[in-house]
Amino acid sequence: MNEVSVVISGAAGQGIQAVEHLLSNVVKDSDLYVFATKEYMSRVRGGNNSTTLRISCKPVYANIDRIDLLLVLNENAIERHRWRMTTSTIVLGEEKFVKDETNHVVVEFSKIAESFGNRIYANSVATGVLAGIMELNIDALKKNIEQYFVKKGNEVINANVSAALKGYELGRKLGLKLELKKCEEVRKKNLLNGSMAVALGAVAGGCNFVSSYPMSPSTAVFTELAKMSKTHGILVEQAEDEIAAANMVIAAWYAGARGLVTTSGGGFALMCEAISLAGMIETPIVVHLGQRPGPATGLPTRTEQADLNLVLYAGHGEFPRVIYAPGSIEEAYELTAKAFNVADKFQIPVFVLTDQYLLDSYYLVDDLPKMDIERHIVKTDANYRRYTVTEDGISPRGIPGYGEGLVRVDSDEHDEFGHITESSSVRKAMVEKRLRKMNKIIQEALPPKLSGPKDYEVLIVSWGSTYLIVEEALQSFLNHKIAHLHFSQVYPIHPSAKEYFEKAKRVIFIEQNATGQFANLVQQTFLIDTSERILKYDGYAYSVEQIAKAIRERLGV
Amino acid sequence: MFRPEDYDIPNADIAWCPGCGNFGIIRALKMALAQLNLPPSKVVIVSGIGQAAKMPQYVKAHMFNGLHGRSLPAAVAIKMVNPQLVVIAESGDGCTYAEGGNHFIHTIRRNPDITNIVHNNQIYGLTKGQASPTTPRGQTTTLQIDGVYVDPFNPIAVAVALDASFVARTFVGYLDLTVEIFKQAIQHKGYALVDVFQPCVTFNKVNTYEWYKQNTYILPEDYDPTDRDRAFKIATDTKKYALGVIYKNPNKPIFEEQLVAYKVDETPIAYRGLKV
Ligand SMILES: Cc1ncc(C[n+]2csc(CCOP(=O)(O)OP(=O)(O)O)c2C)c(N)n1
Ligand code: SF4
């Protein structure tokens, strides 16, 4: 057996996330690859949430529909996932939930848990059963359970370990034969999700100030940074609202920090005026925006790629910006770090656009590379002028207290000293100075990545988090002349992209929104036909199967 | 020693109307800075938008003239990143109490070591005379044509209710008092609110220099500002407005001093990694 796809499904509050966390770690410690992603309702108790885990002896990086093993923890779990089940899907759960299914296996999680003193140990039983079925490393199971409950005291730890071991024994006896080949190289890898990657990327990029207001799915980045605040010297403040957060981060850069704001579309909507301020006073800001479906509060816990237009056009007036859209966990790390350098160098807003799917998905990555922290602060002298007009549009940026000069920034149009002006010639010179930066910004843009045959006829275009899903989907088209072009920087678009489009007979955009926002941007940038689009906007992440099917239908192959 | 002129911006094109109360505030501020001997390179003046918010444009110091209502979050962040700077947030009553009302409340809760000077002319100046949150009930304006029909905001009472660490009010017609209060506010460790009555000679024909003289009184020398109940009574008395330091709580922890990032290393975040 090469791969097992396990789905754990139950009510919010039943500890599905605990199983996800524990099992992913046990899998990794058993020398197997794992990919885990969750979908959940916007509620704290009840409903139905699920986690999909792909466990494999080969690398796995993307979401799939297929379920090999469905672990059911509440009554509506099966119905919600029936469309993902096949004739060979095994359904595992308490008798009352699974008895009507053809391939069912009864395990009385709660009863077993109770025999160790408390129903709430059912998570540990479930983790143990799954580990037993796949013959995962029993010591890894023990170790991870102990670590997970370390703050709860010996009694709870021991009860959970015993419950898990009992589950393990049961799982092995079920005779489901789902044992996988192990792979030692996994030991050198790290289990990360997108949120952790963005936070680690921020730290690698020298982030030392974060102010935000909680909003799913971006809050985990905030929490991760708070956890690292002592060891990495990061100023952390939960602002009273997003408006305060964005203004704080801009002022923090002004004073010499490297600041991040992490938010979602609804929160970012409130920050638009501040983005415009950053544009005018040419103070850097890095914004991480974890997308979820809108408009307004939308589907708070689900996923979408529909805020590209928002960040593209956020803020009144005209000023340069950069938008990254990482396609992988590794890129979430690298591009977040890079965002700090680019914001610093060009004194502009830089956006890292992720989404719930990327932020909440885990897989194994190699050690993350060390990133260079490039600071572009000058020591000022007495004649310092903050907005010196330069050829490339970049004025030397000083900070208060470093050097003799005064650092004077003004949201009104201003002259080189930062002083308010209504002079039409100064206005013109300043607009041009600010926009001139775009020349260099475009030159330094990340070119798109092409995969697949060089002599392609069909070009599938994606951006952001769908990258690895499309990559896997295209594995089933190897005999066709189909290539994949992925954009990790969606604005400004690197000029080299145009050639890729022109070479193709057909270009198909895949996006997780209803209007094809990136296709529209490409159309507008290169004046080419981008009308072929595969779009999804139901709030759920694409799966490998869905993308493969959609491409097959389009191409009639 | 610095002199008030040392904070002048040469050839500044000052956009205030002749006779405006703002002139008195800038004079008092420069005198206070000089008397405290603060080098311009140590001071950051942060403002929002409005006539009052133009203040830092006419004072030689670091300037962050940001967005309408947003001077306080910016000032807090600057103080967090570089606690060695003297940070003064200065703006109008509309900017601070209307657009920035949420930040006013939460900045008081944080208690950063900054000074917040509010030019309270009880009207919107820059947008030409609409009511501000402090315009009295019944006063007519070009917009409130039948008169303001909501109660005015009482910044002093709100600040005392929130246990702000320093709450003062002054009237720009009394220069010495204003300089003295500015000095105390800047020297005070913690958030210091100074609400300054400032006649808008163009748009507010009710609250004139004369009106403020008649409707205010200066707190006696033996007044104890640490008595919160008394301070609250004085704050809520709007028959006659008290001037002076109305309330003080010197025992509140300072926001930036509690930040985790400074627990291990006291170097300002601003200077870390730079050769200072
Ligand atoms: C977001 C935003 N809304 C509105 C304005 C327009 N505006 C500029 S100043 C001002 C009111 C200023 O009143 P106040 O703060 O009392 O200052 P004053 O001009 O009286 O000194 C307004 C509404 C703006 N600049 N930004
Ligand atoms: S409009 Fe009023 S507040 Fe503004 S400068 Fe004129 S008098 Fe002063």
Q: How far is the CA of B234 from the centre of ligand 1 (A)?
A: 29
pLDDT of residue B276: 63
Cβ atoms of B58 and A232 closer than 8 Å? no
**Average confidence score pLDDT of chain A:** 97
B156 located within any domain: yes
B276 located within any domain: no
pLDDT of residue B264: 86
Query: pLDDT band at A296, cuts 50/70/90?
Result: very high
Q: How far is the CA of B21 from the centre of ligand 2 (A)?
A: 8
Q: Is the CB of B167 under 6 A from ligand 1?
A: no
> How do A285-291 and A322-324 pair as beta strands?
unpaired
Q: Does A275 touch chain B (CB under 8 A)?
A: no
Residues of B in contact with A274 (CB under 8 A): 67, 70
pLDDT tens digit sequence for A89-122: 999 999 999 999 999 999 999 999 999 999 999 9
* Atom in ligand 1 nearest the alpha carbon of residue B121: 20
pLDDT tens digit sequence for A521-542: 999 999 999 999 999 999 999 9
Burial class (CB in 10 A: 0-12, 13-18, 19+), B153: middle
Query: pLDDT band at A25, cuts 50/70/90?
Result: very high
- Protein residue with its CA nearest to atom 1 in ligand 1: B68
CATH of the domain at B25: 3.40.50.970
Q: How far is the CA of A55 from the centre of ligand 2 (A)?
A: 70
Q: At what angle do helices B71-81 and A242-255 cross, to 10 degrees?
A: 40
A421-447 average pLDDT score = 98
pLDDT exceeds 70 at position A475: yes
A222-250 average pLDDT score = 98
pLDDT of residue A183: 93
Burial class (CB in 10 A: 0-12, 13-18, 19+), B206: middle
- Quick one: which H or E segment has residue A449? strand A449-451
pLDDT tens digit sequence for A36-91: 999 999 988 989 999 999 999 999 999 999 999 999 999 889 999 999 999 999 99
Cβ atoms of A37 and A362 closer than 8 Å? yes
- Quick one: which H or E segment has residue B119? strand B115-120
Select from B22, B47, B49 the residue to mutate for testing ligand 1; criterion: most ligand atoms less than 8 Å from CB.
B49
The tokens 């997108």 sit on which residue?
A: A194
pLDDT exceeds 80 at position A486: yes
B172 located within any domain: yes
Select from B54, B91, B126 the residue to mutate for testing ligand 1; criterion: most ligand atoms less than 8 Å from CB.
B126
Neighbours of A494 (CB within 10 A): 15
Query: What distance in Å separates the CA atoms of residue B157 and residue B163, rounded to the nearest whole number?
Result: 10
B129 located within any domain: yes
Whole-angstrom CA distances from B265 to A230, A238, B260 are 10, 21, 9
Closest CA to A254 of A276, A283, A234: A283
| pLDDT tens sequence for chain B (276 residues) | 999 999 999 989 999 999 999 999 999 999 999 999 999 999 999 999 999 999 999 999 999 999 999 999 999 999 999 999 999 999 999 999 999 999 999 999 999 999 999 999 999 999 999 999 999 999 999 999 999 999 999 999 999 999 999 999 999 999 999 999 999 999 999 999 999 999 999 999 999 999 999 999 999 999 999 999 999 999 999 999 999 999 999 999 999 999 999 998 999 999 998 876
pLDDT of residue A1: 74
pLDDT of residue A275: 98
Q: What is the pTM of this model?
A: 0.97
Number of domains composing chain B? 1
- Protein residue with its CA nearest to atom 6 in ligand 2: B17
B191 located within any domain: yes
Domain of residue B190, residue span: 4-271
pLDDT of residue A55: 97
State the SS3 of A123-153: HHHHHHHHHHHCCCCHHHHHHHHHHHCHHHC
DSSP 8-state symbol, B128: T
B63 located within any domain: yes
* Atom in ligand 2 nearest the alpha carbon of residue B204: 2
